[in-house]
Amino acid sequence: MSGPLLAIDNLQVKFSRNEDEVCAVNGVSFSINENETLGIVGESGSGKSVTLMSSIGLLRENGKITAGTAMFQGRDLLKLKPKQLEDIRGRDIGVVFQDPMTSLNPVMRIGDQIMEAMLTHHYVSRKEAFERTLHLLHEMGIPDPKARFKNYPHEFSGGMRQRIMIAIALACEPQLLIADEPTTALDVTVQMQILALLQELRSKRGMSVVMVTHDFGVATNFCDKIIVMYGGQIMEVAKTEQFIRETAHPYSIGLKRSIIEVGQRGKEIMPIPGVSKSLTEIPTSCSFAPRCSFATERCLRELPKLRAFGGDHQIACHHAEEVVSLAK
Ligand SMILES: Nc1ncnc2c1ncn2[C@@H]1O[C@H](COP(=O)(O)OP(=O)(O)OP(=O)(O)O)[C@@H](O)[C@H]1O
Ligand code: SF4
Ligand SMILES: [Mg+2]
């Protein structure tokens, strides 16, 4: 296939909240290629989940997509009917959520839940689905798959439940896996095991992964490309090595500086001083300006657009060149 596997262009998502309308995602564009792992980082409320979930039709009732396209295999996901999206989700695009307990059915045996994922999409026959489920459980590192097939979600640890969620997401061998903070709720050892498993499966199957994470260490260790979001917009996009070498957006620089090391816990994003701007107005200035030490009068009157900053590096900042030279 030529071109990206998924290309999101100018996505805008709004929510109605009481009397207000909140613009949670404003003009987000990015793409993911085959065999690529993309990490989306940014503080809480920056629009990471809404960006991903709205593009696959998992938007809350009070939300609406007001602009944009999300091209996947030649089709715009944003124009598809709910049933068509259901067919794509689970078959071509696997989804892993942060908390497996809210996504797994507590009264259904886990083996049946994995089989159901295959049978719903008429992926294989019932007999094949059973064999494949045992194989998947084995691949996920769940010991004694035949016995564990019959267990219910509460009979597993958090890490094992997350593995089961991944097994369900991978049941139909999707080309793209969307994982929204797949390991945040887990302790660090289990987190590392799951990420290593995901990486192994990704290279074995040649699939692409978009992963939302709060953890910079996870993003830089596991992803080929990094997107930094702030206030519903993309602030920086770069290949990981480029991002490590030449972080250019004041917000990303702040995030990198605020990384803390807590023993083995890895590198977590800590808040940067200041408050985020309200999302009720569509910004006409840089949304990071109230917290930015590089802000000028131009930043207050002109919204910086995402622009090329050498090679594949993109940045939404009027003064990135000066910022980089000062940061050196
Ligand atoms: N159903 C909703 N109704 C109103 N506002 C919403 C709704 N869902 C999300 N939002 C708002 O949209 C913005 C982006 O939310 P989103 O969940 O994408 O953030 P996030 O970057 O994933 O944060 P986190 O790291 O906490 O998961 C937030 O300001 C949030 O309050
Ligand atoms: S555009 Fe201005 S306010 Fe925004 S990040 Fe760049 S320097 Fe800071
Ligand atoms: Mg989220």
Q: Which residues of the chain have pLDDT under 50?
A: 260-268
Beta strands 37-41 and 225-230 are parallel
Instruction: Give the number of C-alpha atoms closer than 13 A to the C-alpha of residue 59, restricted to the C-beta side.
Output: 25
Ligand 2 contact, 235 CB (< 6 A): no
pLDDT recorded at residue 277: 55
pLDDT recorded at residue 266: 46
Cross-strand bridge partners of residue 20: 17
- Name residues whose C-beta falls within 8 Å of residue 297's C-beta, 6 or more positions apart in sequence: none
pLDDT recorded at residue 71: 97
Ligand 2 contact, 15 CB (< 6 A): no
Q: Phi first, then psi: give them for residue 209, nearest 5 degrees.
A: -130, 130
- Cα 234 to ligand 3 centre (Å): 15
Q: What average pLDDT is seen over the chain?
A: 88
The DSSP 8-state label assigned to residue 89 in this structure reads B
- Tell me the residues surrounding ligand 3 (ion) with CB < 5 Å: 49
CA distances from 207 to 142, 152, 170, 225, 287 (A): 22, 29, 10, 15, 35
Cross-strand bridge partners of residue 316: none
pLDDT recorded at residue 276: 55
Q: What is the pTM of this model?
A: 0.91
Structure-token pair, residue 6: 């998924």
pLDDT recorded at residue 111: 97
Pocket test for ligand 1, best of 19, 41, 50, 278 (most atoms within 8 A of CB): 50
CA–CA dist 182, 149 (Å, integer): 22
Minimum CA distance residue for ligand 1 atom 30: 45
Minimum CA distance residue for ligand 1 atom 7: 15
Tens of pLDDT, residue by residue over 122-170, are 778 999 999 999 999 998 889 999 999 999 999 999 889 989 999 999 9
Helix intervals (H) in the chain: 48-55, 82-88, 100-103, 110-120, 126-139, 145-148, 158-170, 188-205, 216-222, 240-245, 250-257, 297-301, 320-327
pLDDT recorded at residue 264: 38
Type and span of the H or E element at 250: helix 250-257
Name residue, tokens 């996505």: 11
pLDDT recorded at residue 274: 57
- Contact between 39 and 219 under an 8 Å Cβ cutoff? The reply is yes
